[in-house]
Structure 1
């Protein structure tokens, strides 16, 4: 779920100063437990072929690790979870769609029979591609809290997590309970918007008062006036860029 404080104006402002060929994808080739539990087992997901959802079938045998390419995965958070979250460039997605060297299709056929392939597919394609492997910023821009001991999903964020979440500089956060009061805190403290009203921005030209919605009238919708959360996101991305500039090969 997107942290509502980072609506499109903040994201557009920050990313406008970042190279458009960069990809935010948390990746590692240190598979650990995931090699034996996720990569080597052969699974068949009937949901690919059927209209209704059904259970995944597991083959009795396992396959060897591929030698034509190296498997990468998202950051391993705990024994259940690896980061599947990515922010990808247009150029890399075009490569995945058209695959002019056939790499994306080769890996697609392999990961078709891998459990939770979204945790490894894009990571493996980009890190095995000479053209794109050095365009990766090793971060998924997500804010999450894990219980101890960790569960299969992150901790549900609530009011007690608000301050740390707001200061994190992350573009996205998960997970939230439906209608949790922390969502109202975000609306009130960061977005400054009233109930059932649009988030006010530089494009809102109406008179401001507690009974009048300033966004009932608008001017140039392309005007960008970033809020304070954009500064925190900008610092996060600058730190990722510093790490990226200090390494000659990101996919190791």
Structure 2
């Protein structure tokens, strides 16, 4: 048997420099990918995928022809302080209470929309806008907007819902140039509401919470409301008339919906920005469909938002069953809660709720809240906070530099 031919002798090559080049090339490639705008590391908090299917899609499945964006943003770092977007609404005679509520709630990080409905005289709206423009703190921050073109609102009618959605759209829009639209939670209040905590404390607590939580007092056990509210068909004249009129009932009745499940609860809510975006821009048709249904529903503010949140797959697991209000009801409950006074002080404080309602204008209990909880020192003063110390320090630095 012939001996195998010997292998040609290999030339000796020093491979150390090749390893260095390979390592450098690999590092450069990773750096390029990481800084590329089209490269994304997998993240459980990323909810917006433009024109992409779900991350769990099989590689063998055909790609979707088109997937609408959810328009959600990645959640900010949990440690960052949140911003709140407030709607404070009122009617004729509420301008004074609205000013007081605004000052008690004020913080330069937040955003505020004030809406006096069309039943209030134009002079009240003009005076409210002049007050905001003349107040040195409010004017300097520029974060308070008075709705000039007021909406006609019928109590318990769908126009209360459309007014809330109008304010939410204004807060999402900001100033139209990308400023003033950065907030995390939307809070709707009336002029007869008042805070029971400072905004600094509220921000501190909410900074520890997931930014997609929605605080909505709700239940699917609508019981007597099925017959008294869901089945009747009502018309709100404020949807199409210039002058205010009472709701009126149609003789026909309708069956309960089967396309979605009805929920009901409190009309006062703290809604996450992603959910508000869903209500306004609605990347599926549920918010619009439910809104059309509730156009003929008595007390629609106590059902529309709850029904959308609890039927939308993306948000049904984000609800916290609380409206974050202290409200004192009669037993059995009447149509309205009773007005809070100093007799309710201990219950209010022990409730740990950040808001309470309803209050009469300039009731002495409001003065006690200002003095003992908020630290307000006068009728025209905003509630102080850490931002006041920062502003004072900035003024001292400017004086020292001059």
Tell me how far apart the structure 2 counterparts of residues 149 and 73 of structure 1 sit (CA, whole Å).
18
2:284 aligned to 86, 89, 101, which one?
101
Structure 1 position 60 matched with structure 2 position 234: no
Aligned to 1:183: 366
2:239 aligned to 48, 51, 61, which one?
48
Aligned to 1:16: 207
Residues 4, 95 of structure 1: CA spacing in aligned structure 2 closer, same or farther, 3 A cutoff?
closer
- Find the residue that maps to 1:43 and give its secondary structure: strand
2:304 aligned to 95, 103, 121, which one?
121
Tell me how far apart the structure 1 counterparts of residues 394 and 204 of structure 2 sit (CA, whole Å).
16
Name which structure has the greater RCO, CA cutoff 8 Å, separation 6+.
1
Residues 17, 109 of structure 1: CA spacing in aligned structure 2 closer, same or farther, 3 A cutoff?
same
Off by >3 Å, runs of 4+ in structure 1: 1-5
Whether contact under 8 Å (2:197, 2:373) holds in the other structure is no
Tell me how far apart the structure 2 counterparts of residues 203 and 108 of structure 1 sit (CA, whole Å).
40
TM alignment of 1:20-169, pairs within 5 A: 20-74=211-265, 83-169=266-352
- With structure 2 as the length reference, what TM-score do the two structures score? 0.48
- Find the residue that maps to 1:193 and give its secondary structure: coil
Aligned to 1:201: 385
**Mean alpha-carbon deviation: is it higher for 4-13 or for 46-55?**
4-13
Tell me how far apart the structure 2 counterparts of residues 17 and 50 of structure 1 sit (CA, whole Å).
46
Q: Post-superposition shift, 1:147?
A: 2.0
Whether contact under 8 Å (2:287, 2:308) holds in the other structure is yes
Tell me how far apart the structure 2 counterparts of residues 7 and 49 of structure 1 sit (CA, whole Å).
41
Q: Post-superposition shift, 1:193?
A: 2.9
Q: Post-superposition shift, 1:2?
A: 4.5
* Structure of larger gyration radius: 2
Q: How many correspondences in the alignment?
A: 203
Tell me how far apart the structure 1 counterparts of residues 206 and 193 of structure 2 sit (CA, whole Å).
16
Aligned to 2:398: none
User: Please, what is the CA RMSD of the aligned residues?
Assistant: 1.9
Tell me how far apart the structure 2 counterparts of residues 120 and 29 of structure 1 sit (CA, whole Å).
10
Tell me how far apart the structure 2 counterparts of residues 42 and 220 of structure 1 sit (CA, whole Å).
59
* Long gaps (5+) in structure 2: 1-191, 396-402
- Find the residue that maps to 1:140 and give its secondary structure: coil
Q: Post-superposition shift, 1:195?
A: 2.4
- Find the residue that maps to 2:251 and give its secondary structure: strand
Tell me how far apart the structure 2 counterparts of residues 64 and 110 of structure 1 sit (CA, whole Å).
12
Q: Post-superposition shift, 1:203?
A: 3.3
